[in-house]
Structure 1
Amino acid sequence: MSLAPLLQASPVIQLHAGAALAALLLGLVQFAAPKGVLPHRILGWAWVGLMAVVGLSSFGITMRGHYAWIHLISGWTLLMLPLAVLAARRGRIGAHRRAMASLFLGGLLIAGGFTLLPGRIMGAVVFGW
């Protein structure tokens, strides 16, 4: 494992990766912590902000100058974030829970898994290829 490929990457890639890692860690905390209390709300807003950075910054990252299908996940993330927050504010906690869990799964775990493939920066960071 070496951070060199990430440190040599463009600032937008560094921002994207840093926000994604922070959102991943904070998301795990959110899943484990008590719900409906002030810390959950404060950390939730931080998580929403991080996910917005992840989604927006992804549009500054292209594959050989072109957007890829994975950018559809970014668009979906940016659409779902306000809907998930709105669901919580309206007391639709089940819808909020499902939306946030799907954002975590699709926007971080699944999309993040693709960054570990050979030829990708995070794959080089983690596996050295």
Structure 2
Amino acid sequence: MTLAPLLNAAPAIPLHAFAAMAAFVLGVVQLAAPKGTLPHRTIGWIWVALMAIVAASSFWIHQIRLVGPFGPIHLLSIFTLVMLPLAVWRAHTHRVADHRRIMILMFIGALVVAGLFTLLPGRIMHHVIFGS
């Protein structure tokens, strides 16, 4: 395992990858830890910021092009940027079930499922984890 392929990539790619990895770790903590506490809220705000960075940075990554410079992952990024403030607002208005549902959906869809696609052969993270 070597970080060289990731660190040698265009600047948006390592930013995107490291923010996604940090969001994944914090997301696991959030799902396991007690809810409604000050640490939950604090880590939650950090997670939201990381997810915004992950989604926004994807618009500078154009490895898979289907429509001009954009691919299907960019639809997920738009979805994430729309749903993040909605999920925060749901928590703020004490609609906890809606907040939980949106956050779990984003964690699973935007981090876990999309993250698994980065491990496909030919992708940078495949080279990082499995070598060339």
What TM-score, normalized by structure 2, do the two folds share? 0.94
Structure 2 unpaired stretches of 5+: none
The aligned residue for residue 49 of structure 1 is: 49
Per-residue Cα deviation, 1:24-44 (whole angstroms, up to 9, x for no partner): 000011111110011100100
CA RMSD between the two structures: 1.1
Alignment partners' CA distance in 2, 1:128 and 1:85: 39
- The question of 1:78 aligning with 2:81 is answered yes
Q: Is the 8 A contact 2:20 2:54 kept in 1?
A: yes
Residues 30/78 of structure 1: CA separation in 2 closer, same or farther (3 Å cut): same
* 1:108 corresponds to 2:111: yes
Shift >6 Å, 4+ stretches: none
Instruction: Give the distance between the partners of 1:38 and 1:45, measured in 2 at CA.
Output: 11
**Using the alignment, how far apart are the partners of 1:50 and 1:95 within structure 2?**
21
Q: What fraction of aligned residue pairs are identical, expressed as a percent?
A: 59
| Counterpart for residue 18 of structure 1 | 18
Structure 2 distance, partners of 1:46, 1:104, is 14
Per the alignment, residue 128 of structure 2 pairs with 125
What is the distance in 2 between the residues matched to 1:71 and 1:10? Answer: 17
Of residues 3-12 and 49-58 in structure 1, the stretch that sits farther from structure 2 once superposed is 3-12
